[in-house]
Amino acid sequence: MTTHTRNATVMVTGASGRTGSRVVQAVRAAGLDVREATRSRGFDWEDPATWADALRGADAAYLMYPTDVGSPAAAEGVGALAREAVGLGLRRLVLLSARGEDQALPTEEALASSGADWTVVRAAWFAQNFSEGPLADGLREDGRLVFPAGEVAEPFIDVRDIAEVVAAVLTAGDRYTGRTLEVTGPRLLSFRQAVAEVSGATGAELEYVPVPARAYGEHLTGFGVPREEAQLLVEVFETLLDGRNAHLTDGVRQVLGREPRDFADFAREAAAAGAWKG
Ligand SMILES: NC(=O)c1ccc[n+]([C@@H]2O[C@H](COP(=O)([O-])OP(=O)(O)OC[C@H]3O[C@@H](n4cnc5c(N)ncnc54)[C@H](OP(=O)(O)O)[C@@H]3O)[C@@H](O)[C@H]2O)c1
């Protein structure tokens, strides 16, 4: 007689987004089953009545809170969902957080005090901010990246490395339970240098335009971002881009046993895939 053992199932929030879509791939590649938790599949962070169906029967979850992990709504939502998950027997939770973001600490604490077997993955700025989402739209549409980062250096991380770290954490038993992992790319680059690397990879003339954080907030509201959300992002950018994160960590090497992907490789591959074609 053959005994069939069930694969563990991971509920992946934000499965249609930058990190979540790669977490889906990495978790499947690690031999686990995935339950995608997005609004089109009935899961809504803003509607707690939708959570139990997404959580029930899963063994672990990847939690990303939309827009920003440092919002008050994130602390409330992550804490409440984590408590509900634990109540349903789903204890293994991995939260995507942001490195150096003081505003994210209440969200991390809400997870840690939920009774879950938690791991926090604090990530540097994503390389994919340059190829997917609003910053990428600016580069594609008018060849400019308008952003309040001055000349600060950042170790941009490829979201595929974040996803592989999450999958490794979920398949490593208790090794990373109760731990906060800081993950960065392998090299410090200013936003100006990053845009120059994208420019080199695409052959297009692209420009970085640094602006003050407050002016950027007005730029966001001009594009329809609600004022409260723009205000939070301005506060986050003002703290995150003050140089506190201008150093590397070895989180990716610690967990994956290899160096993180370099920004130049990301830019070359994304250019080849047409990421900046209009
Ligand atoms: N960008 C960075 O450099 C950086 C660095 C460190 C940490 N972070 C953190 O990363 C998180 C964002 O992750 P990401 O970039 O992977 O996301 P993203 O690409 O912005 O995607 C957002 C995802 O959230 C889902 N979503 C939006 N509203 C939802 C709702 N009400 N209920 C359920 N799902 C909802 C969307 O799915 P549907 O629309 O299909 O429902 C989508 O899959 C934030 O918490 C941010 O603080 C970002």
Confidence of residue 7 (pLDDT cuts 50, 70, 90): confident
pLDDT in tens, 56-88: 999 999 999 999 999 999 999 999 999 999 999
Q: Which residues line ligand 1 (CB under 6 A)?
A: 14-20, 38-40, 43-46, 64-66, 68-69, 96, 98, 123, 125-126, 129
Return the pLDDT at 193: 98
Question: Helix/strand/coil (H, E, C) string of 25-83?
Answer: HHHHHCCCEEEEECHHHCCCCCCHHHHHHHHCCCCEEEECCCCCCCCHHHHHHHHHHHH
Residue 85: its pLDDT value, please? 98
Residue nearest to atom 3 of ligand 1 (CA): 125
What the block records as the tokens of 146 is 């308008």
Question: What are 179-223's pLDDT values in tens digits?
Answer: 999 999 999 999 999 999 999 999 999 999 999 998 999 988 888
Q: What is the pLDDT of residue 222?
A: 85
pLDDT tens, 97-123? 999 999 999 999 999 999 999 999 999
Structure tokens at 130: 């340059």
Q: What pLDDT is recorded for position 267? A: 98
Asked whether the predicted pLDDT for residue 1 surpasses 60, the reply is no
**Which pLDDT score is estimated for 134?**
86
Cα of 63 from ligand 1 centre, angstroms: 10
Phi, psi of 52 (to 5 degrees): -60, -40
Asked if 263 and 127 touch (Cβ cutoff 8 Å), the reply is: yes
pLDDT, position 4: 63
Cα 4 to ligand 1 centroid, rounded to whole Å: 35
Average pLDDT over residues 252-268: 98
Ramachandran region of residue 77, left (φ > 0), alpha (ψ -120 to 50) or beta?
alpha
Residue 278: pLDDT band by 50, 70, 90 thresholds? Answer: confident
Closest protein CA for atom 18 of ligand 1: 17
* Residue 3: band (very low, low, confident or very high) from pLDDT cuts 50, 70, 90: low
* Closest protein CA for atom 7 of ligand 1: 98
pLDDT digits 0-9 by tens, 137-186: 999 999 999 999 999 999 999 999 999 999 999 999 999 999 999 999 99
CATH placement of domain 9-272? 3.40.50.720
Report CA(64)–ligand 1 centroid distance (Å).
6
pLDDT of residue 112: 98
- Of the two residues 81 and 232, the one the predictor is more confident about is 81
Ligand 1 centre distance from Cα of residue 5 (Å): 33
